[in-house]
Amino acid sequence: MMRFLRAAPLMATLLLAACATDGTSSGVGMSNRELASAEPLKEIGSGPLTPQSLLGVAPSALSARLGEPAFKRTEPQAEVWQYAGAACSLFIYFYKTNSGALASSYVDARKTLGGPADPAACLGEVETKKSPRVS
């Protein structure tokens, strides 16, 4: 009985974590090892953007291509940036590397009404919203 009581807080934490997500992931990311040794790229380049092209970049490189995010959350070792598309939100997660610089290590997309979204399609929505078509 004592063993169960000691394990109860851990079990409750695991149950809450399972409830926080629907178990599906739509994102792309770098491994912790890749991120730790990465030197953040200062620019993304002028080619077409893909979720993978947003990995390993400095925050300044991302804002140079996509503009300022709609929302930023800053924590001691990380930042999360959110960009709004027409029917989705694109999330870029920055974590500190071994050198102390922030580098993007994960890109995810969520539908505005909930659930996972395709990161590539959402990135396209974000770019379209940033630069609306002129007719």
Q: pLDDT tens across 86-130, in order?
A: 999 999 999 998 889 999 999 999 999 999 999 999 999 999 988
The alpha-carbon radius of gyration of the chain (Å, integer) is: 18
Per-residue pLDDT tens over the stretch 26-71: 677 766 666 666 678 899 988 899 999 999 999 999 999 999 999 9
The pTM of this model reads 0.75
Runs of H (alpha helix) within the chain: 2-19, 32-37, 59-66, 119-130
Residue 40 CA to residue 47 CA, distance in Å, equals: 18
Q: Is 42 exposed, middle or buried (0-12, 13-18, 19+ CB in 10 A)?
A: exposed
